[in-house]
Amino acid sequence: MSTIKEKLEKKELDTLRSDAAKSIYAKRKREEEPSDLRTEFQRDRDRILHSKSFRRLKHKTQVFLSPFDDHFRTRLTHTLEVSQIARTMARALDLNEDLVEAISLGHDLGHTPFGHCGESVLNELVSTGFHHNVQSVRVVEVLEDMNLCTETIDGILTHTWGYKPKTAEAQIVQYADKIAYINHDIEDSIRAGIITEEDLPDECKRYFSSKPSQRLSKMIYAVVNNSIDSDKVSMDEECWEYTKILREWMFENIYTDSPAKLEEGKAKHIVKTLYEYYTDYLKEYCDDDKKIERLVTDYISGMTDQYAIEKYKEKFIPKPLNTQTKDENFLKILYSINNE
């Protein structure tokens, strides 16, 4: 009698297109006893979902640093939106939805506190540079040792531009990541009062419409329709050109110089100061500079915004002397009352 896992694997073979990743062929660095209930890519998804690094994403910046308003995106909600968009496209294209979900949930696990400004500080300080996609792979391979499938790890590494994914599923996540952050960062910037929908480039408003849901849908359809009869996943050229115009406009007006960036100098100072503090601290116990750099990089990059701020306060903000008030008089009064 077939197990549930075997039935799911057969369903993939029967229904997914020929270039889709099949979980029955998935490989791990270390062999494990198979699950009777879940495919290998489903197991990857679950391991990421239950990891400590995934939970920490809820307190890591997307664009707006430590927002008081709960409706702004964090790195966690960004990750969930990437997953939803990627799964929609994978399902429409008969690709492996479980692999796409695993890659999406794991793609930002190595991101620093304070978003890309934190990443830029570490990139300057670390001798070999720092890139969150590479750190995300280190998180799943070393720091939490999840023993994920090679296809999942490849997708996590290659979710940023400049890398060539080995699977169509990883190509989907590349596009889903861009589609998600362009659209939700516009929405958050409007919520923050930095821009209005009318401020967006006129040609983009005409092409995508002024309705956020229609803009998002058009980008998704442009990937799906252009990839149905193709051996690779891509957005049609016209939509991609307008998407790039919108992305460049966001860099000029939101990501680079806007009220959203006013606190970045303080955030960069926190990351740099903590990095230097822990580097000097470890030199008292270790004379291997490479090991020290690795340990400090792992520690700092794993911090949430809140944890980094609290550690900075702990190390560099003076605290009042902790004195205890004496309760003798109170106890004397209590004793006298009891003996009346």
Q: What is the pLDDT of residue 339?
A: 64
Q: Which CATH number is correct for 42-264, 3.20.20.450, 3.90.230.10, 1.20.1260.10, 1.10.3210.10?
A: 1.10.3210.10
Has residue 258 got a pLDDT over 70?
Answer: no
Give pTM, 2 decimals.
0.92
Residue 64, pLDDT score: 81
What are 176-216's pLDDT values in tens digits?
A: 999 999 999 999 999 989 999 999 999 999 999 888 999 99
Average confidence (pLDDT) over 315-329? 73
Tokens of 153: 């790890």
Looking at residue 256, what is its pLDDT? Answer: 76
Mean pLDDT of 156-169: 96
**pLDDT confidence of residue 323:** 59
What proportion of the chain, given as a percentage, has pLDDT over 70? 92
Q: How far apart are CA 26 and CA 11, in angstroms?
A: 15
* Span 30-81, pLDDT tens digits: 999 999 999 999 999 999 999 999 999 999 999 887 656 789 999 999 999 9
Better-scored residue on pLDDT, 305 or 320: 305
Q: What's the confidence (pLDDT) of residue 337?
A: 64
Flag whether pLDDT at 14 surpasses 80: yes
Tell me the domain boundaries of the chain: 42-264
Which has more confidence, 325 or 302?
Answer: 302
The answer to whether residue 16 scores a pLDDT higher than 60 is yes
pLDDT at 334: 61
